Amino acid sequence: MIVIYSEEHRLQAGRSELNDGQLVPCYEKPSRADIVHARIDVVGLGPVVEPSRHGLAPLERVHDAGYLGFLQSAWDEWVVEHGAEIDALPLNWVAPGMTRRSVPRSIDGRLGFYSFDAGTPITAGTWRAATAAADCALTGAGRLREGDRSAFALCRPPGHHAGRAFYGGYCFLNNAAVAAQSLRDGGAARVAVLDVDYHHGNGTQEIFWDRGDVLFVSLHADPADEFPYFCGHADERGGGAGEGANLNLPLPWGTDWNGYAQALATAAGRIGAFAPDALVVSLGADTYGGDPISRFRLLSEDFLRMGAAIAGMGLPTLFVMEGGYAVDDLGVNVANVLTGFLE
Ligand code: Q9C
Ligand code: ZN
């Protein structure tokens, strides 16, 4: 399986995120990609190649042009106001009943306008790292278009929380959505996105909400208890032409492989019925029992089973790296999904 990886992920190295009332060191850090990259080498998964540059056009297919412009210049504007010694974090957001008539002029106002949490610092290298990650996903989509059965885009920063015009949850550009759209634009009539990250992929859901040509299926911790809290419920089924093309499978804290495998079988049934031409997997390994910010109980060997279950769907499959914060075990867990898929 070809692996697409860029060293530019290192340019996203936030200092701190707001968590449990405190600024703490970022969980989403460069060593995450390093350990996955190292493990891929050990298991000899496949050639590791650099992404090719795709520019802004494929990003504009799923993201708002004003939002992309904001992301591109946010750091420079932040530095003018606050200096380069502090990462850019938003401080306030609009609530229902407040107006959202125009984009604020102030950089602080715009950080809040385009975000939904204070866990996602913008730094000097955020734009370059995020675009390199999107290029990894686009390069992987290109491989599928050329006939590969599978590919792994080792993206960092992750993407599934980023929507058409918002960032959050450590995500800026929605790598999986960009890849799914590029598969559609390359001739696939229908594409399914299967999101196995521990957190609901609210950004991907929002981007494809009213689309009948892209099925979104997500297994995740119940948003009644877990981030992102405001979406991911079972009754969110898509709107308009997309009604029925969104399937959320929220699971309780403490879910182990038993409970997870049942939901994965339900997901497989829905994806099979949709009969897509390609599958994009948002691959987070934060369902692992050892994850520091999550509360599922998957074991390392369960990720082999997850890969086998995904292979059983019998589709050309692009894996796109999302979350997973138990860094020491992240390489093994992610590589297990991929080798379990190939076996
Ligand atoms: N106390 C991804 O896995 N913070 N993003 C959770 C926990 C946000 C996770 C707070 C977690 C975002 C890609
Ligand atoms: Zn996650």
Output the six-digit token pair for 104.
Answer: 């604020």
pLDDT for 292 equals: 98
Q: Which amino acid is at 124?
A: A
pLDDT for 43 equals: 98
pLDDT for 280 equals: 99
Cα 106 to ligand 2 centre (Å): 30
Cα 210 to ligand 1 centre (Å): 26
Residue 323 CA: nearest ligand 1 atom is 3
Residue 171 CA: nearest ligand 1 atom is 13
Which protein residue's CA is at the shortest distance from atom 7 of ligand 1?
A: 293
Cα 32 to ligand 1 centre (Å): 14
User: What is the CB < 6 Å shell around ligand 1?
Assistant: 19-20, 119, 158, 161, 169-171, 197, 199, 227, 284, 286, 293, 322-323
- CA nearest to 54, candidates 120, 114, 131: 131
Q: Indicate if 161 belongs to the active site.
A: yes
Q: How far apart are CA 184 and CA 186, in angstroms?
A: 5
pLDDT for 113 equals: 98
Which protein residue's CA is at the shortest distance from atom 3 of ligand 1?
A: 323
For residue 176, the Cα-to-chain-centroid distance in whole angstroms is 6
- CA nearest to 335, candidates 288, 289, 269: 288
Q: How far apart are CA 146 and CA 116, in angstroms?
A: 37
How would you write the pLDDT of the chain (343 residues) with one tens digit per residue?
999 999 999 999 999 999 999 999 999 999 999 999 999 999 999 999 999 999 999 999 999 999 999 999 999 999 999 999 999 999 999 999 998 999 999 999 999 999 999 999 999 999 999 999 999 999 999 999 999 999 999 999 999 999 999 999 999 999 999 999 999 999 999 999 999 999 999 999 999 999 999 999 999 999 999 999 999 999 999 999 999 999 999 999 999 999 999 999 999 999 999 999 999 999 999 999 999 999 999 999 999 999 999 999 999 999 999 999 999 999 999 999 999 999 9
Q: How far apart are CA 22 and CA 150, in angstroms?
A: 41
For residue 144, the Cα-to-chain-centroid distance in whole angstroms is 19
Contacts of 269 (CB under 8 A, 6+ apart): none
Which protein residue's CA is at the shortest distance from atom 12 of ligand 1?
A: 169
Residue 161 CA: nearest ligand 1 atom is 13
Does the pTM exceed 0.90? yes
Cα 27 to ligand 1 centre (Å): 8
Residue 170 CA: nearest ligand 1 atom is 5
Which of 9, 37, 161, 199 is catalytic? The answer is: 161
Give all domains of the chain, ordered by start, each with its CATH number. 2-63+132-342 (3.40.800.20)
